[in-house]
Amino acid sequence: MRTTTRIIDLAEPGAGDRLPAFAAVDGLYPENPFVLSPEVMHWRGRIFLCRLDRCRQFWLAQKKKRRVTLGTLFDPLLRHHCGDDFTAVLGDHPWPCLLLLHDRLAHDAPGLHRLDGRLNRSIYGALDWNAWFEPLEELAAQLEAVAARGFEPQRFRARQTQFRRFIERIAVASPRDLRAADGHAIARRFGRWLGRVWRWSRAEGGDLDGFPWRSFAPAPPPAVRRDLDFPVNDWDTTATLLREDCARLCAGLARDDGHVIRMRWQITLYNQSRVDVDLSFRHPYSLQRDAPAFATALYQARYAYDDVMRRLASRATDLDLPEQIPFVAWRLELSERLTLTPQCLDLFAGDATEVDFDRVRQLQNKLPRSLECYRGQASFLAEDAFRRAPIGDPRDEPFALGAWTGSAVNKPLFRYPEAQAIDGAPRGRAVFVERGTSPWWHGDDADKAIRDYFILRDERGRASWAYRDAGGAWYRLGEFC
């Protein structure tokens, strides 16, 4: 009798593997802390807070593509940038991340920790009052730096002293033992800011809930400016000049010096008014790898250009100017970037030294769905011309598939789960492709197993894959792109 043993990973969450909204990381360098997100906050020293939700779609796509947990995805990435002694905590609010990070640093426990993991959830619940009060001085410095409304440092410290006396008097050993009190109760007795910190530590608030977030900007972002020699209000000329400006931006960047999340295009119009446009990319985008065409950047810029022109056409002022007010100058800036490791650049997660980055760029930024990999396979059944293969699966085949691949080009990747009956004769043009058979050995009548396969084209040019059986009935099997 066989028995199955299930191993529980205490570092991973009990159900699902969702992406937390924030990370607190010790080990990042101020010169380049944008390794998990284009938006970070410098807390102190080499501790940075990262907003993972700014790149949620990208990291979830990476996780799905590589078929790994978030811990397995982030751990080698942080080791690549920080070394083996990094400490990081993932959670849904920066304050609990900082509390657990301070505790892990105090206990010399490097590595990646998730607040929704079984073990770390238990450790966080067992934190004592010293662990809760120690980071408050750092918080006070951040609140002063942002000039938080209503924050008074001396009064905040006095309230902490009052709170300490209270917990000593009622003999409460840890914050967990005071779980009956909510943030509003703490705020009424010990002030608004301690009440807010209490909510943060118990995850009672939503989003940042007043947390003093300050986005970190180590230096002015790379930018180029163009003063046009003549007013421009057509896309072809604009695209040519933007392509030149992208090349100028690349000239000032090192190879793979960050992948772009957002570009800011500041346009000056003929009437000297200014329009700010954000060019956002669903996945991190490399200008260097897109040179010299910069097709993806121009693809996003064209959408923004059309939107600007529509807004200008509907304006209620400067009616003496052309409907499409010309541009006289603009400034192009790389406002948000993310530094990726080499393994994040290979869309198919293989070991090849050369990657088709043009295909990676176009598919990642334009497709709303996850990518799938298909390969031809040797089969006498027309419906089995392709098989779905894991991305990065070795391509070793038992024999050459050249003849089978040549036959597969007339068959679509998209197939219906079940053949769709067509009422009567199909409309449009029917192009014969081949004669095949059904799997009659599974019980079908061999005399009725013959099938003639066709490509059907309707009056709009759409193509479907279909067959006609021995009885003259038609069935639709799939669709061509």
pLDDT value at 128 more than 60: yes
In whole angstroms, give the CA distance from residue 158 to residue 267: 51
Predicted pLDDT of residue 55: 87
Rounded to whole angstroms, the maximal C-alpha distance in the chain is 93
- Cβ of 60: how many Cβ atoms within 10 Å? 16
Residue 58 token pair: 């990208």
pLDDT value at 352 more than 50: no
In whole angstroms, give the CA distance from residue 274 to residue 223: 17
Segments making up each domain of the chain, as ranges: 22-201, 223-343, 374-479
Predicted pLDDT of residue 224: 93
Predicted pLDDT of residue 165: 93
- Cβ of 255: how many Cβ atoms within 10 Å? 8
Predicted pLDDT of residue 357: 47
pLDDT value at 348 more than 60: no
Q: Give how far the C-alpha of residue 455 lies from the chain's centroid of Cα atoms, to the nearest Å.
A: 38
Burial string for 219-248 (b: 16+ CB within 10 Å, else e) reads eeebbbebeeeeebbeeeebeebbbebbee
pLDDT, the chain, mean: 81
Which has the closest alpha carbon to 71: 19, 125, 24? Answer: 19
In whole angstroms, give the CA distance from residue 131 to residue 138: 13
Most confident range (mean pLDDT) of 88-92, 322-326, 386-390 is: 88-92
**Model pTM score:** 0.66
In whole angstroms, give the CA distance from residue 16 to residue 69: 10
CA trace torsion 149, 150, 155, 156 (10° rounding): -50
What backbone torsions phi and psi does residue 336 show, to the nearest 5 degrees? -140, 130
For range 237-255, the mean pLDDT: 86
**pLDDT tens-digit map of 312-339:** 887 766 666 666 788 999 999 998 888 8
In one-letter notation, the amino acid at residue 274 is R
Plot region of 105 (φ>0 → left; ψ -120 to 50 → alpha; else → beta):
alpha
For range 34-61, the mean pLDDT: 91
For range 238-247, the mean pLDDT: 93
**pLDDT tens-digit map of 256-276:** 556 888 999 999 998 888 999
**pLDDT tens-digit map of 208-225:** 888 999 999 877 888 999
Contact 267, 274 (CB under 8 A): yes
pLDDT value at 173 more than 70: yes
In whole angstroms, give the CA distance from residue 341 to residue 441: 52
Which element (helix H / strand E) includes 138?
helix 136-145
Exposed, middle or buried, 82 (CB in 10 Å: 0-12/13-18/19+)?
A: buried
**Of 411 and 445, the one with more pLDDT:** 411
pLDDT value at 465 more than 50: yes
pLDDT value at 255 more than 60: no
pLDDT value at 1 more than 50: no
3-state secondary structure of 48: strand
Alpha helices by DSSP H, 202-294: 235-251, 287-290
pLDDT value at 299 more than 50: yes
Exposed, middle or buried, 447 (CB in 10 Å: 0-12/13-18/19+)?
A: exposed
Which has the closest alpha carbon to 287: 320, 321, 327, 258? Answer: 258
What CATH code is assigned to 223-343? 3.30.1490.100
In whole angstroms, give the CA distance from residue 94 to residue 213: 9
Exposed, middle or buried, 102 (CB in 10 Å: 0-12/13-18/19+)?
A: buried
pLDDT value at 9 more than 90: no
Q: C-alpha angle 62/65/70, rounded to 5°?
A: 50
Predicted pLDDT of residue 7: 43
